[in-house]
Every structure is written in structure tokens, then in C-alpha cells.
Structure 1
């Protein structure tokens, strides 16, 4: 410390308390960073790295950003997974004795950032906290700081299950204790999720619905948030416990495979179920829709209640449009309440709150007058917050300025003193002219005038020849000139202070009045949040009604059994992205006697689309929406597990096959008889026999041990014989036909197994060279012949088979037999075009070298 100046000693002391964050240290109009912070930040932010002298004579690395432009730089650092501690000057430099006092006023972290260009207001931005309950259970709490919405749940399983749930909710930061920090740090770092340790615990009010053993995670989370934000945060709501039995669980992998909230192709909203269903008109409605998709219902009563509300809205066509029109005028009440609580709300925020509350009575009246039971129930749940609106109507102007300290936020007439300041600032010259005229009348001095200079301020000037007419008891001499005297009166002195300081003091008073109104609004936060919850729910149901009506969806029915029947179902997203008239609908029927379908058919024929459409219809039905089909009778599904698509997990260093096996293990370990399993071409990542054996073993295990509704697609045609052994298994195939030497995909699911895979035809469609395709056909003929040909026992080194064209027996050498055996074991149907070409070339080289 002695090697540094007093200011740098102050910096180092503050920095020692925030070692894990970039410290933005306020110096005048800049935030400065020093030492390692400066070196690293200059590279990340691409700003100039400079240096300053230390007391020891050494140079200290430093860089800085202007305080008024700091938000963008802070957001960049946080977006890259860093924390930023904001250290402000907490006393006026003009009155400070010695070094200006400074302290950290807020720590911005990946989980607590609430404003910025990267923050999507249409989605929740959760920070989480995890706690170990026992060997097989975790508590996971999560909070959206911008809205105050908090939830907590059990996570059953191992660390991988916990991480999957954290990924599903899109968390960027998780608060843990030291033991979990050690266990999770490597995996979280690979996924760019920040782990933060918190030893404190906040005393939270408990409710009957929240188990005591999950409250530790909630307490730890709130303690961390309050410690970093350094404010009371009245808008944080009591945590809501999510019962596993009350929701349809969908893990992160299945969310991705089914493209529920973002497209696999480009990782954007477009092409997802969320994109399809999002006809919401408020940001809070869009967030609620996304959470409903994340956590569909598994309670039949609640599902049917949502369905009935959608039905009422569809049937009330004009009311639906009127409600949407009114809701469009409602701003994001949840985030406005959050800004009020955190003290960051400006004049425009309060004006938006007031303008939103103006629309609420008409929404309530529309619902009340609908004569529809559930819509009337919505009306009863709406509190118009009339008292809140009254305060805002009285105090806040129609169009406040952007920043609070610019003025123009408080209405005229709200405060008499402020009105006086404003009047003085606006009408000071008029008032002085009127005073001048009054004094001329009183004294009879026609050339009396009121002037101003910076030394003496305002004064009344009278020529010496007229001094005898002045009321010297009332006039106080200020300055003597050669031919005139300057005076001041108590009235002018009072007005002088008022006029000169009116603008500055008016702005200061206006800021005080605004903060008083904002503080008063904190008492109304709970009512605002409750109103937001009702209106956002209404917005989502209106969205369901709009989409269902526009896309010709139908209301599904539910039962307590396991049978699933969808008549002429359609993949909702694919249908929207193509011509509806061209879409081929497909039915799916699972019964108690046959609830496992083995699906065969060529690549590109639509097997994966068919499987996904069944899962999407289940999800849509259980969030309360109508579904794309002619009719649907469904069970209440508790979990959906998928293994669709092949991709390496680069973050974890896992191969495609390893990921396939891990995802399959997760599904098999956690599925129940009420679950829905989708397995697409299991085993294709390994050799043919290994893959086929694994696929059959999985099917047998699911059939005999779990009993879940299952859709299982495969290219292993040998597996189609399993319907003879597994009584609840049925074969179906996606039809295709040959026409003029080309394959035509019919995209129609039909009973029975496929007779051909058409792999070479698909390669033809992909544009592979004709010589390569012809060679592939030759090899395929040899492969199929070799599979059925008898082996000559007296020629152990030769393989005999029949030429398909001549029926003449052919013998091949031992070397050629090796090539054929290699070909037989190769899964050629699942090779990439490039690897197929390379493989054919290698085989040809081997044969050529033998002949040579």
C-alpha cells in the first residue's frame, strides 16, 4: 500500500473485496480500471490501454470509459461471463476533505443484469441457486430479477440431470455452496454458465406450499441478489413451488430436438413451436407463453380449464379482437414494477404504468359483460389499481422527459413550491417588468428602471435628480454611480433569489418529488404484479385462440388411460412453413394393447417429422392450446424423452455415439409408463451388429420393464420381426414408390414394415456422381446376394454365391471374401456422401491390387 498514492490505496482496498469482478472505479467523468482489470478489459472491450505513475515510480496499467457511455461496455463484459462492480463517488468532490469517498453501489453479473441490448424482454432471464438435499435429489430455485418472479423445484437424479434442467431454463449464472461449486465447476465452465458461491441466507417468509428442504436454495439466492444489488428489492415475490406431478417434464435435449423454443437450424425463434404460437401483444404475455412451453401442465383439471377459456375466446370473435386491441396498450407491468423496486424507474416508466392502468377498466368491463363463465372469472381476478393510477394521474405529466433530472416529469399543480419555481423561471422577466411599472407609479419617477449585473444582482436604478422622490425607508442602497443610485427592496431581493435559482432549485425539487412518488409506488408493487399475472395469462390464451382459429386446430380430449389416438395429425410448424394444401396428414394410434410403434422407411421420407409431430401435439394439448389434427384423444403425459438427430457434444468432448447412449440411458432411467419416448435410429453411430443389438435390447426393455408410449424408428429391417415377440409392438412404415427409375416419397405412414430403404435413390437426389451410384448399386446387389448364399464347406477359403443375372455359381478368392465381409459389416446407408465415395474407392483399390 505504501508504494501507492492515497487514491490508489483506496482503489486497492475496494478491489480486495471484489476480486472476482472488474472494478469500474469512478474518477470524475470516467470509470477507470487498473492493473490486471485494465489489461484484460482493454482486450475484451478493444479500448486503449494506458498507464499512470505510482508512488514507487513504476507505471500502473489503466484504461477507462466515459460514465455516460459505460452501459454498453458493462453489458459486453457481462455477456462474456464476467462480473462488474460499479464503484461510485458517494460524496460531493467540492465539499470533500481529502480523498472523495467511494463505494461499490452494485455488482452486475450474468444472472442479475436487467437492462441492455442483449436482454430480450420477451423471455425470462433467470439466475438460479442449487442445493443438495440428498444423494438423489437437488433443490433448484430460480429468479428473474427484472420481474421478481421466483420458482423452486426438486430435481431428481445426478449432477447431469441438474445441469440439464439448468440448461433447459437458460440460466447464465447459478449460486451454489462450496461443495457443489467443486462438483459442477468444470461442466458449467464448458457451458459458459457462471458459478457463484454464497454463504449467506436471507430470512424468507415461508408458505404452506413450499417444502422446507428447498427453502435453503431460495434463501441463498435472495441473499446473493441483495448482496450484489445492494438494495431492498421489494418486488421479489414469494417463491412458487413447482410440483413434478403437476407439469410435463421435458429435458434440455428434448426441448432442442423438438424445437420448442428455438430452431435447431439457426438457433433463432423462427421455426419453433414458440414462434408458431406467439401471437401475444405484450412482453409479459410472450414470457408467460415461453414458460408454459417450458413447463406444460400435467393436471387434467387445469388443462381443461385453459382449454375452456380458449373455447370461450374463439366463440366470442368480436370480444377477442377488442381485448387484443386494449391489451396492446398495456406495457410490461412486471418489469416496470421491477424498475420501481430497484430505484431505476424514470418518468417515462411511471407514465407507461399510468397509461397501462388506464386500459385496465375497459378490459375488466369487456370480460365482465361477456356472459362467459371463465372470462367473467378473469374479470373478477382483475384489480384495476385505481389508487395507484390516481397518484400517477395527479403527479406525472403526459410526456415526461427521458432523464429525471432534465425536468418536465411532475405535473403543474402537483406542488405549489414547484409551481412557483417554474413560474419564476418562465415568467421572471415579465414579473420584473411589472414590478418596474409598479415602482414608477408609486414613486412618480418615469425613468426608474430595474437592471442586473453579476456582482450586485438585480437592482432599482434612480437618477440623482429623482432621489428625493424615492421611499428611502423601503429602498436599501447597493451602489452609487456618478449620476445615479442603485437600490434594492426586500421584495426584489426575495424575487432575485427566486428568479436566479428558480431553474436549478426547480429541477432539484422536481427530482425529490419524483423519487417520493416512485417510493410511494413501492407499496403498490404486489398489486401491479398480480394484475400483470392475470393480464399476461389472458394474453397467452388470446394467442392460443387466434392461432387455433387461423390454423384450423381442434380441441383435444383427455382421459385417464394410456391410449393415444391422433386422427390426421399435422406437424404445426412444418405446415405453417409450407403450403397447407400440400401437407400430408398422418394418424397415430397407440392403445393399451399396442403402445409401441416401430417405424421404418427411407431417409427423407418423414419419419422424424412424424415422430416430432406426435410430441408437439402432446405439448400443445397440455399447455391448453388446440391441436393440428381432425381429432385427438390423449392421455396426460408426465415426461417426454427424445433421441432424435446426431451431433457431437463439443463442450463435453463426447462423440455422437456416446451422446446417443447417454441420452438413451437418461430416458430409460427416468421414464415411467405415463411417459412418451421418441427414439430415432438408435445404434447408427456404431457397427451394424452392435447398433442392431442395442436397438433391440432397448425396445425389449422399454416394452417389458417401462411400458411407456414409444415411437421407435430404425433402418435395421431385421428388427421388424420383433412384432412376433413383443406383443405391444406394431410395425408401421413411411411409404415411398418408384416411378421412372426415381423414388417418390409419399410421406404417408401406413401399417406394416417397409420393403426397401431406397438409400441409393436418396444419394441420387443428393446429386452424387452417376458412376459412383452405379458402383453402389453393384455393391448392394453383391451384398444382398452374399447374405443369402450358401457357404461351400469343402472350399474353406472361398465363398460361393449366385450371380443374380446368370444363375451361374461364382467363386471368389479369400481376399475378395474379406472385402465382401467388410462391406457386409459396413453401415453404408448411414454414411455421408464423401465417406461413401472414399469407402468405395478403398474397396476398388483393394480389389485392383489383388488382381494385379
Structure 2
């Protein structure tokens, strides 16, 4: 089971919250007041609180993260007369730290700045930047490639229990990164075997279910890596019916058992809570039954070392020994098929016919393998885009995957005497939307930025207004170079440079020894002093300020146009 500090009920109170003392009102800074408010509604999570270019953690969160990550624990101000423990991680490197925390079983709440600090200052000098949690990161809700296991699914599960004299269980599970969703009704005797097959990254339980499992010793210790506790009402089957109809309007909800609806409802609620988006991006649930698949008990599965050895390592397992897949999607599929082999002869023979085709035709096999090796994953980029977490690079991968699918269909169609399974596969691949891939390729650079806000990802020539705005920005930079040469000549200061940073914007910088010259006539009215440093002095001019305004406006407008183009393509993809 999970570590106690991270299995918190909604009623838990933060130990760090300010308390009143015998008629004294605690003194809390506006920033700390905001921190306490956000922390209080996210109990059981380490709060990554955005402060400029860093995520900072405070109080117990800081102490836990400092120990787990091996980073320096320091202090930041005081609260109730005591130093506030604090540690921080750079935003640009946050993924690496998140990966380590998640592997250790921690849950993290990502709290972002929702406005520019300049907007906050308009409300008053003591106003704090608006912040809120935009995502809850847990072991079972990962979507980023660098956080996910490449060759296996990362399943999140929810186990429901219905009591009517005997206990009925249902298990719903999904890979948030691919959208695959499943549900199965099962008895108490099959529960451990099914959990061993799925190797869930995280399991959602109601308190009563956890108590029942603990009392009956149904599950061996260590079978479930991480447990998330949910309120009993989350598993209410009637409430689940409504949420299922909303999430999957194309399916008949009454076809699920009461226990299955309960498990699916809890799963959907947890995904919605952690992802903080309007869409949960899950596919319609597939009902799994014991029919057609081999049921392997826990002891046998452990002895066979199918996916992992008895030491918990992939190396040395059956999968590691035979895995020759060249794509991450293929590796995930192989793992699922090894975990639940077919037992129906017709289904086995249909699959073997496909295998035999490529065993006999080595040229076709190697040609297709080489083609697949260059094909990006499709499901995970699609999920990130649906969760509003994707960017231009994900769009490029989608377009590339579509093209690859259609090319694979052509290669299969060119082969003789295809078995039924490969004919069906070729038809599916040929149905990929080729026109969409063409639109993506014509609009987006082949190696674009990861994030939309970085801009520069739309191809030159795709949009006339965008090209115009980019031209204005480029032309203005040329004018700035010319202005630098002119100012250096006018002042006879060859070391004069026009530079830029995020705080001052564009500025004129001269060595400190020449700074006094610009503070006297005839340059006093032309150069406006901005900053004095140990070895340099910084100024601006009216002309430089005007040029900077033109550049900023052009860059802003260009980014707006790129955002519109991205949103339009995103709508077509989804």
C-alpha cells in the first residue's frame, strides 16, 4: 500500500495552516495566505508552487522533497515566528524531479501562475499573482513520454465492491496516456490474479474496500504498488451512471453491471480531478471476460517470469528475451498478449497465419520493420493534445503517423495471398485521414518547438499576415543594429552595445568609465539612465523605446496568429 502521508481524506487539515493564538490574529503575508488556501484544497500532495522560473515547496512539503530529491533545504521568511523551510526546482528541469518523486510514490500538485505579474501590480503593490493547481500528477496519471515507461502500459485502476450477502468486485482500468479503457467483473478468488496480470501503477479504493481487503488478506503484500483513497460517494453506482453517459454518450450504460458502473465512475472521477480539463480523453470501455484468454494464477505468473523476474527486473524475463519490436506501441501490445494468451483455436490460427506470412517473406518483413522503426507513437501524442497538454511537435507526430499508416497499407496491398487478418489490418491503415496529414505538413515546421508559446513553428509562406509580422520583427532588429552603430559614432564610444534582457528589454550598455559622459551635455537629454552596475552603465533612448515597441507588437501578433493556426489544426485532429 502507499505511504501514509499520501493517503489523505478530503477532511484532513494542513498542519502548516495558520492558527489563532489567544486573541492574537496570526500575521500571514498575502503570498503565504494564497499558498495555504491552495494547499488546503489539495491535501496529500506535494505542492509545486510556481514562483517565476522556479517551483518552490514550503514547510513539510519542502522537507519531504529535499530528502527525496537530494536538493538543498533552505528557508524563506518566517511564519508564526518560525523559519519557513523551503526548497525549489527550476521549471525547465521540473520533469526530471517529477519523475523521481513519482517513482518514489509521491503525488504532486502543479500550481501555475495564471497571469502576468504586471497584471497583479495593477491591483495594488501588495497584490499577489493569481495561481491555481492546473494538474495533479500521480503514478497512474502520467502523460509525458519522459515520465512514462516506453514499452509497457501505465495503468490506473479502480476497484469497486458491492455487498449483498456475498461480495462482488469489478475492476476498471485505463492507460491515461493512450486512452485505452477496460472493465471486468470478477469474484474474490480472481482478484489477485487479475491485479498481477495488469501490474497497475495506481489503484483507487474506497475505505470500505480497503478494509475488506486488509481483513480478508485477499491480496499479497506488495501486489499493489500505490493506492489512492477516494470518498465512498465516488463509487456510487447511480452517480456513475450519469458520468458514464456524459463521458461515453455512444455506449449503452445499462449494459454494465452495478459493480462495473461503480468502478468506471470512480475511475472517470479521479481522471477528471487530476487532469483538470473538460475532456477526460478516454476511449469507450471494453468489457473483458475470461472467455478467449488464458487465466494464469498469481503463483504461476510469478514462476513463469513473463514480464519481470522474481527480483522485479525486466531483464531476464520472457518478454525481455523475445521482444524484437521496433516501436513502443508494439512493445506494449506484446506485453499485453504475453500476459493474457489466446486459447480459442480460430483466433490463434488467425494470428499464426499473419506471423507465417512474414516468416516466409523475409524481404517484406524487413521492409515493414524498417518502416515501423521510423514511425512515431500515435496514441500518446493524441492524448496529450486532447488534454490540452500537447504542442506543435505532437501535431507533427500525428501527421507523420498518419502518413506512415497509409504507406504501410500500400505495402501490404502489394503483397500476394494475404491472410484475412492482414487484409483487415490493411483496410484499417488505409482509412487513416491522409488529407489531415497533408494539412499538418503544409502548416508546421518538421522540427517545431515543443510548446505553442515558444512560437516559430508555422512554416514560412503558410500565412501571409504571419510572414508580414515576422518580417517587421526582423526588419526592426536590423534597424537596431544600425542604431547601435550610429550611437557609437555619435558618442565616440566604440564599446557601446545595444542588448536585451527580460527585465529591462532593450537597452544601451557602455563601460562604467564612459557612463558619466552620457550623463552630461550634449547627451544628457538623449540618453535616459536605467541601471548602474559594477563595470557598466545602462541607458535607453526614445528611438530605442519606439523600436522595442514595434518588435514586441510584431512578435505578439505573430504568436497570436500561430496560436489560431494551432487551434484550428487541433480541432481537425480531435
Give the counterpart of 1:322 among 367, 373, 397. Answer: 367
CA distance in 2, matches of 1:298, 1:58: 66
2:412 corresponding residue in structure 1? 367
Is 2:111 the partner of 1:87? Answer: yes
Name the larger-Rg structure: 1
CA distance in 2, matches of 1:289, 1:518: 35
By how many angstroms is 1:419 displaced?
0.3
- Structure 1 CA distance, aligned partners of 2:477 and 2:320? 60
1:123 to 140, 144, 152: 152
Deviation at 1:422, TM superposition (A): 1.6
Give the C-alpha shift of residue 85 in structure 1: 0.8
Kept after mapping to 1: 8 A contact 2:192/2:298: no
Q: 1:217 to 1:20 in 2, by over 3 A?
A: same
Report what 1:9 is aligned to. 33
Q: Hey, what's the Cα distance between the residues in 2 that align with 1:189 and 1:120?
A: 23
Structure 2: how far apart are the matches of 1:39 and 1:433?
50
CA spacing shift, 1:432–1:20, aligned 2, 3 Å: closer
Look up the SS of the partner of 2:111 in the other structure. Answer: strand
Superposed counterparts of 1:335-346, under 5 Å: 335-346=380-391
- Aligned equivalent of 2:229: 196
CA 1:136–1:524: 2 relative to 1, 3 Å: farther
2:199 to 160, 166, 170: 170
Offset of residue 310 of structure 1: 1.6
User: 1:349 matched to which residue of 2?
Assistant: 394
CA gap of 1:369–1:208, structure 2 versus 1, over 3 A, is: farther
1:263 to partner: Cα distance: 3.1
SS in 2 for 1:95: helix
Equivalence for 1:49 = 73
Native 8 Å contact 2:472 2:554 kept in 1: no
Contact 1:331–1:352 at 8 Å: present in 2 too?
A: yes
- Say if 1:14 and 1:429 are closer, same or farther in 2 by CA, change over 3 A: closer
1:154 equivalent in alignment to 2:180: no
1:511 deviation in Å? 4.3
SS at match of 2:308: coil
In the TM superposition, residue 69 of structure 1 has moved relative to its aligned partner by 2.2
Taking a change above 3 Å as real, the CA distance of residues 189 and 100 of structure 1, as seen in their structure-2 partners, is farther
Report how far residue 314 of structure 1 moved.
2.7
SS of aligned partner of 1:59 = strand
2:207 and 2:59 mapped to 1: Cα distance? 28
| SS of corresponding position for 1:94 | helix
Aligned equivalent of 1:284, options 325, 329, 338: 329
Task: Give structure 1 stretches of 5+ with no counterpart.
Answer: 435-452, 458-480, 483-494, 527-852
**Matched residue, 2:22:** none
Secondary structure of 2:445 counterpart: coil
Partner of 1:394: 442
Is the 8 Å Cα contact of residues 51 and 59 (structure 1) preserved in structure 2?
A: yes
CA distance in 1 between partners of 2:481 and 2:38 (Å)? 56
For 1:237 and 1:521, locate their aligned partners in 2 and report how far apart those are by CA, in whole Å.
21
Q: 1:113 deviation in Å? A: 2.2
TM-score by length of 2: 0.74
SS at match of 1:23: strand
- 1:336/1:345 contact within 8 Å kept: yes
Rounded Cα–Cα distance in structure 2 between residues aligned with 1:245 and 1:217: 21
Cα distance in 2 between the residues matched to 1:146 and 1:398: 23
Q: Secondary structure at the match of 1:364?
A: helix
Pairwise CA distance, 1:83 = 0.8
Residue in structure 2 matched with residue 103 of structure 1 by the alignment: 132
**1:249 aligned partner:** 295
Corresponding position of 2:423:
376
8 Å CA contact 2:169, 2:186 repeated in 1? yes
Mapping for residues 28-39 of structure 1, pairs under 5 Å: 28-39=52-63
Match of 1:412 in 2: 460
Quick check: 1:188–1:194 contact (8 Å CA) kept in 2? no
CA shift, 1:240, in A, is 0.7
Counterpart of 1:48 in 2: which secondary structure? coil
Superposition pairs for residues 502-541 of structure 1, below 5 Å?
Answer: 504-505=552-553, 507-523=555-571
The reply on whether 1:64 has 2:97 as its aligned counterpart is no
Partner-residue secondary structure (3-state), 2:110: strand
Q: Give 1:229 shift.
A: 1.0
Distance 1:350 1:505 in 2: 27
**Hey, what does 2:174 align to over in structure 1?**
143
Residue 276 of structure 2: which of 225, 230, 234 is its match? 230
Tell me how far apart the structure 2 counterparts of residues 508 and 33 of structure 1 sit (CA, whole Å).
Answer: 32
DSSP-derived class of the 2:117 partner: coil
1:708-723 equivalence runs, <5 A: none
Provide the C-alpha distance between the structure 2 equivalents of 1:498 and 1:348, rounded to a whole number of angstroms.
35
Alignment counterpart, residue 293 of structure 1, candidates 338, 344, 348 = 338
* Counterpart Cα distance in 2 of 1:219 and 1:102: 29
Q: Within 2, Cα distance between the matches of 1:502 and 1:254?
A: 71
1:405 Cα deviation from its structure 2 partner: 3.6
Aligned residues of 1:235 and 1:525 also touching (Cα < 8 A): no
8 Å CA contact 2:143–2:177 kept in 1: the answer is: yes
Which deviations, in whole Å up to 9, do the C-alpha atoms of 1:105-140 show, x marking residues without a partner?
Answer: 111011112336553211100010011145353111
Cα distance in 1 for partners of 2:167, 2:79 equals: 57
Q: Secondary structure at the match of 2:410?
A: helix
Q: Do the aligned partners of 2:50 and 2:111 also contact (CA within 8 Å) in 1?
A: yes
Judged with a 3 Å threshold, the aligned counterparts in structure 2 of structure 1 residues 363 and 223 are, in CA distance, closer, same or farther, namely same
Cα 1:188/1:88, change in 2 over 3 Å = farther
Q: Is the 8 A contact 1:340 1:518 kept in 2?
A: no
Shift of 1:397: 0.8
Q: C-alpha deviations, 1:721-746, integer Å up to 9, x for none?
A: xxxxxxxxxxxxxxxxxxxxxxxxxx
Q: C-alpha displacement at 1:393, in angstroms?
A: 1.4
Alignment partners' CA distance in 2, 1:497 and 1:228: 44
Aligned equivalents of 1:105, 1:432: Cα separation in 2: 40
Flag the 1:497–1:34 CA change in 2: closer, same or farther, 3 A: closer
Q: 1:66 to 1:230 in 2, by over 3 A?
A: same
CA distance in 1, matches of 2:229, 2:573: 29
CA distance, structure 1, for counterparts of residue 139 and residue 293 of structure 2: 28
Provide Cα deviations, 1:57-99, integer angstroms capped at 9, x if missing partner: 3323222222222222222222111111111121221111212
Answering whether residue 349 of structure 2 is matched by residue 313 of structure 1, we say no
Partner SS for 1:54: strand
Are 2:19 and 1:23 equivalent residues in the alignment? no
Distance 1:420 1:520, change over 3 A: closer
Instruction: State the shift of 1:350 in Å.
Output: 2.1
Match of 1:647 in 2: none
Q: Is the 8 A contact 2:95 2:147 kept in 1?
A: no
Label 1:114 to 1:155 Cα distance change in 2 as closer, same or farther (>3 A).
same
Q: Which runs of 5+ in 2 are unaligned?
A: 1-17, 19-24, 235-239, 483-497, 500-505, 507-521, 524-542
Deviations 1:779-820 (A, max 9, x none): xxxxxxxxxxxxxxxxxxxxxxxxxxxxxxxxxxxxxxxxxx
Cα distance, 1:197–1:279 mapped onto 2, change above 3 Å: same
- Identify if the C-alpha distance between structure 1 residues 124 and 525 changes in structure 2 by more than 3 Å, giving closer, same or farther: farther
Aligned equivalent of 2:349: 304
Secondary structure of 2:119 counterpart = coil
Tell me how far 1:505 sits from its aligned partner: 4.5
**Which residue number in structure 1 is paired with residue 21 of structure 2?**
none
Q: Is the 8 A contact 2:178 2:379 kept in 1?
A: yes
One of 247, 251, 254 as aligned partner of 1:207 = 251
